Chains A and B, each alone.
Chain A
Amino acid sequence: MEDFIVAAVKTVIAFALLFTVVLLLVWIERRIVAFMQNRLGPTRAGPLGILQTLADGMKLLFKESMTPDRVEVWLYLAAPIMALVPAVLIFLVVPIGAPITIGGTEYTLQVTDLNVGVLYVLAMSSMAVYAIALAGWSSGSKYPLLGSVRSAAQMISYEAAMGLALVPVIMFNGTTSLAGIVEAQGATYFGFLPAWNIVLLPSFVVFVIAMFAETNRAPFDLVEAEQEIVGGFHTEYSGFRFALFFLAEYINLFNMSALTVVFFLGGWQGPVFGPTVLQWILPVIYFFAKTFAIVFLFIWVRGTLPRMRYDQLMGFGWKRLIPVSLAWIILAMIAVGIRRFGLPWA
């Protein structure tokens, strides 16, 4: 029973945390992109405009949600839910801080530590494809259909590259549990260099590029190429149904940044000192600082790079990223083999 209460409390906290982070994230993105374009961005709602996202959400709640007459109603209504649910589920396995001990009981700052964490993450990010494919198909309109078919092909292509990029990480750390991967990055080289998985540089680069494509962000945001397919898969959605897709997109953005930090940048690892309370708080601060650095990278790229053409996108995924990650797996495999088992003929 106590386990159940702990699980329920952690789940609710994680849910609330995700939504708070997303409210901040949308505001941060709009402000930073505005500064990059010599504008101010939202400044009116709340101090520095920080409540702008909340205001937009409330506005969308009061807006009419039309159901066009050509749609397949049940799938059309299910698609926004199917977009949001996998997005919130991924965050469950992300460890946001070091385990803390209160009154003899150890609590992990992670909702649940699945031993198949990496597979769970990949499975959940595949589920997002269903929402987009069904939203486009059930809308009964040509632009959503084109957008969703494109997007589905793009997401599954880059997901293959993403999975391949994670194989060397697992070889290196010997576990698929996310807490285990962070734990394994706690060591140091020469006593001061942190032993983060970023030493697997090709994996890191492939993962980050695939991450941009998975979250449908610039320069791979062909899903919403306005000149060609209007709004893409959510053209026929309005009101709060659209807001749910929007929320899912930003939750995914945060999740993917957090996962990059967990897999390659040492998660919550960092120098810890001082009294016990500070030792609990510092890892959480490190985790969020690293995650928001990756989020900034996302925004920076959006403000800098133009959108790719579709044939360039698919060509890049299949003809560059996948061969590179395959070659890198073979190289990493041989290097790890020599390090752990010596030369094969010795």
Chain B
Amino acid sequence: MDLAAYLPVALMFILGVVFAAAAMLISWRIAPNNPSPEKLAPYECGIVPLQEPVERFPVKFYLVAMLFVIFDVEIIFLFAWAVRMDEFGWAGIASVGLFMLLLIETLGYVWKRGALDWNVASRARYRRVVAPEPEIEEAA
């Protein structure tokens, strides 16, 4: 492992942090600072905020994060195989193909369960409970 290749990464990291911090510091020194209670209130289009800002947000966002972890780990595995693809031949392609079919099946399951539906009206549960489709009456 060649750690010397990571030296510029460390240097650039320091350079970036120092630049950003210094710019903020300089701006803080030379810019005017006249705080007032109205100015320091959270932004709310001109009225006094009525609600606490940190509220609960929809669980779907957590769900997306979890799905992302699954797919990102898959990508790491695929990268590792793709670099050395020639060494594994058809056996490798078959194994990776099986692995990918399992993931496609996962995606299909999640999709079918409605985890990917962000439009409330198109969710299966909404259609079942809130707005069931009208039953067609059969002709007598």
* Bound-state Cα–Cα, A341 to B85, Å: 11
| Interchain CB contact (< 8 A) of A81 among B12, B20, B72 | B20
Binary CB contact string for chain B from 1 to 34 against chain A (1 if under 8 A, 0 otherwise): 0101111110111011101110110111011111
The answer to whether A156 touches B65 (Cβ under 8 A) is yes
The answer to whether B31 touches A65 (Cβ under 8 A) is yes
A35 near B: Cβ within 8 Å?
A: no
Tally of contact residues, A, Cβ under 8 A: 87
The answer to whether B31 touches A63 (Cβ under 8 A) is yes
Known A4-B7, A88-B15, A176-B79; contact A61-B30, beta-carbon cutoff 8 A: yes
| Interchain CB contact (< 8 A) of A141 among B43, B89, B100, B104 | B43
* Bound-state Cα–Cα, A122 to B23, Å: 28
Residues of the B chain whose Cβ atoms lie less than 8 Å from the Cβ of A164: 71, 75, 78
Chain A nearest CB from B89 CB (Å) reads: 5
Residues of the B chain whose Cβ atoms lie less than 8 Å from the Cβ of A236: 42-43
Residues of the B chain whose Cβ atoms lie less than 8 Å from the Cβ of A70: 41-42, 53
The answer to whether B104 touches A326 (Cβ under 8 A) is yes
* Bound-state Cα–Cα, A10 to B23, Å: 22
Binary CB contact string for chain A from 243 to 261 against chain B (1 if under 8 A, 0 otherwise): 1100000000000000000
* A132-157 CB contacts (< 8 Å) to partner B: 137, 139-143, 145-146, 149, 152-153, 156-157
Residues of the B chain whose Cβ atoms lie less than 8 Å from the Cβ of A334: 93
Binary CB contact string for chain A from 297 to 312 against chain B (1 if under 8 A, 0 otherwise): 0000000000000110
The answer to whether B30 touches A142 (Cβ under 8 A) is no
Residue of A nearest to B36 (CB): A66
B82 near A: Cβ within 8 Å?
A: yes
Residues of the B chain whose Cβ atoms lie less than 8 Å from the Cβ of A60: 27
* Bound-state Cα–Cα, A69 to B7, Å: 40
* B90-132 CB contacts (< 8 Å) to partner A: 90, 93, 96-97, 100, 103-104, 107, 111, 116-119
The answer to whether A333 touches B97 (Cβ under 8 A) is yes
| Interchain CB contact (< 8 A) of B12 among A67, A89, A115, A149 | A89
Interface majority SS (helix, strand, loop, mixed), chain B: helix
A-B pair number, CB within 8 angstroms: 222
The answer to whether B90 touches A344 (Cβ under 8 A) is yes
| Interchain CB contact (< 8 A) of B41 among A68, A92, A168, A318 | A68
B83 near A: Cβ within 8 Å?
A: yes
Chain B nearest CB from A79 CB (Å) reads: 10
* Bound-state Cα–Cα, A166 to B75, Å: 9
Tally of contact residues, B, Cβ under 8 A: 70
The answer to whether A142 touches B75 (Cβ under 8 A) is no
* Bound-state Cα–Cα, A334 to B15, Å: 45
* Bound-state Cα–Cα, A344 to B94, Å: 10
Residue of B nearest to A19 (CB): B19
Binary CB contact string for chain A from 320 to 341 against chain B (1 if under 8 A, 0 otherwise): 0011001001100110110011
Residue of B nearest to A344 (CB): B90
| Interchain CB contact (< 8 A) of A85 among B7, B8, B17, B61 | B17
B54 near A: Cβ within 8 Å?
A: yes
* Bound-state Cα–Cα, A56 to B119, Å: 40
Residues of the A chain whose Cβ atoms lie less than 8 Å from the Cβ of B116: 314-315, 318-319
Known A77-B24, A88-B15, A142-B51; contact A170-B82, beta-carbon cutoff 8 A: yes
Chain A nearest CB from B95 CB (Å) reads: 11
* Bound-state Cα–Cα, A232 to B39, Å: 18
Chain A nearest CB from B52 CB (Å) reads: 9
A14 near B: Cβ within 8 Å?
A: yes
Chain A nearest CB from B85 CB (Å) reads: 5
Residues of the A chain whose Cβ atoms lie less than 8 Å from the Cβ of B27: 60-63, 65, 239-241
* Bound-state Cα–Cα, A61 to B41, Å: 23
Supply 5 A–B pairs (Cβ within 8 Å), ascending by A.
A63-B27, A65-B28, A114-B5, A318-B107, A341-B89
Top 4 closest pairs, chain A to chain B, by CB: A311-B118, A141-B42, A240-B27, A163-B75
Q: In the complex, given contacts A143-B43, A334-B93, what are 7 additional A-B residue pairs having Cβ atoms less than 8 angstroms apart?
A: A14-B8, A64-B33, A65-B31, A68-B41, A141-B53, A241-B24, A314-B118
